Amino acid sequence: SQQGEEDPQALSIQEGENATMNCSYKTSINNLQWYRQNSGRGLVHLILIRSNEREKHSGRLRVTLDTSKKSSSLLITASRAADTASYFCATDSLSGNTPLVFGKGTRLSVIA
């Protein structure tokens, strides 16, 4: 079963616009990570945010985490056609060494 749920399932925007994707999860976590997957390729790690952090930036990416609501958001600013991909959130759990649990992903299309 999958812990996270991304929202929306699909998003289509124009190049230059900002894209916001949301992730909700069910159990308490240590960390939340976002990954990108281009069609037919493996996953690329984007950013990790720890449970005691509320916001983190990396280049055009901004991630927020609200542990009280068990949710996270990924904002991509000034989107480019090359940002077209599926984006997944992945969580661990507080119960010890556990592997990542992924959501179903948001499919982002950036139209040039």
Partner 1 sequence: GAGVSQSPRYKVAKRGQDVALRCDPISGHVSLFWYQQALGQGPEFLTYFQNEAQLDKSGLPSDRFFAERPEGSVSTLKIQRTQQEDSAVYLCASSLDFGGAGTDTQYFGPGTRLTVL
- Site of interaction with partner 1 (CB under 8 A): 2, 4, 29-31, 33, 35, 40-45, 48, 88, 90-105
Closest to partner 1 by CB, 60 vs 104, is 104
Q: Measured between alpha carbons, how far is 78 from 43 in angstroms, rounded to an integer? A: 22
Backbone phi and psi for residue 27, each to the nearest 5 degrees, phi listed first: -110, 165
Nearer to partner 1 by Cβ, of 33 and 79: the residue is 33
Q: What are phi and psi of 83, to 5 degrees?
A: -80, -10
d(CA 91, CA 100): 5
Bridge partners (DSSP) of residue 103 are: none
- Residue 9 or 18 having the CB closest to partner 1: 9
Shortest distance, position 8 Cβ to partner 1, whole Å: 14
The answer to whether 94 and 32 are in contact (CB under 8 A) is no
Provide the minimum distance between the beta carbon of 67 and partner 1 in the complex, in angstroms, as a whole number.
Answer: 14
In the complex, the smallest distance separating the C-beta of residue 68 from partner 1, rounded to whole angstroms, is 20
CB of 83 to partner 1, least distance (A): 18
